């Protein structure tokens, strides 16, 4: 964690550099600090983006676009840190979607969920040790 999934209408593909957005979101999350300490573990940070070929938005009368960014985090962060992290991702999205907003009707939503309904959690990783040196 954090586990970021970006789900979006495929009509955004030519308008937004999704790989750059993924990269900057990961970098932004890794850079979050609380009293000088990292808020999220670098080795557990990942962003995955999925265009949907089949989609429908609003009243479906135009080729509207939508992007939904969901961030799943583990428990343990303060409310202030959650808001700061969310606001940082929102600022990034606003930058990356500026051109798309100039060309048509777009909705972007960012939500952070804290371990929803979680009853089991296991990790198998050689990424974490890389950043715990």
Which residues, 55 to 84, sit near a copy of itself by CB under 8 A?
55-60, 64, 66, 68, 71-73, 79, 82-83
Pick from 8, 11, 12, 39 the residue near a copy of itself by CB under 8 A.
Answer: 8
Contact 9, 65 (CB under 8 A): yes
- Using CB under 8 A, pick the residue from 63, 76, 87, 99 that binds a copy of itself: 87
132 Cα distance to chain centroid:
23
Among 33, 36, 113, 133, binds a copy of itself (CB under 8 A): 113
Tokens found for residue 72: 């799943």
**d(C-alpha 86, C-alpha 84), whole Å:** 6
118 lines the binding site for a copy of itself (CB under 8 A): yes
Measured from the CB atom, the residue of 35 and 121 that comes closer to a copy of itself is: 121
Interface with a copy of itself, residue 92, by CB under 8 A: no
Q: Is 130 in the site for a copy of itself (CB under 8 A)?
A: yes
Rounded CA-CA distance 73/61 in Å is 36
15 binds a copy of itself (CB under 8 A): no
Tell me which residue of 77, 80, 75, 67 sits closest to 25, measured CA to CA: 67
User: What tokens does 96 get?
Assistant: 């990356």
The crossing angle, in degrees rounded to 10, of helices 79-96 and 18-31 is 150
Residue 128 contacts a copy of itself per CB under 8 A: yes
Instruction: Assess 42 for contact with a copy of itself (CB under 8 A).
Output: yes
């Amino acid at each position: 964690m954090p586990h970021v999934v970006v789900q979006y209408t495929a009509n955004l593909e030519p308008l937004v550099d999704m790989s750059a957005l993924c990269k900057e979101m990961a970098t932004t999350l890794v850079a979050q600090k609380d009293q000088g300490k990292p808020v999220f573990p670098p080795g557990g940070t990942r962003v995955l983006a999925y265009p949907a070929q089949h989609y429908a938005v609003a009243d479906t009368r135009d080729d509207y676009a939508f992007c939904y960014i969901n961030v799943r985090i583990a428990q343990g962060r303060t409310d202030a840190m959650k808001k700061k992290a969310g606001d940082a991702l929102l600022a990034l999205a606003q930058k990356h979607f500026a051109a798309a907003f100039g060309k048509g009707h777009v909705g972007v939503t960012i939500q952070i969920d804290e371990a929803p309904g979680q009853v089991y959690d296991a990790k198998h990783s050689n990424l974490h040790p890389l950043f715990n040196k």
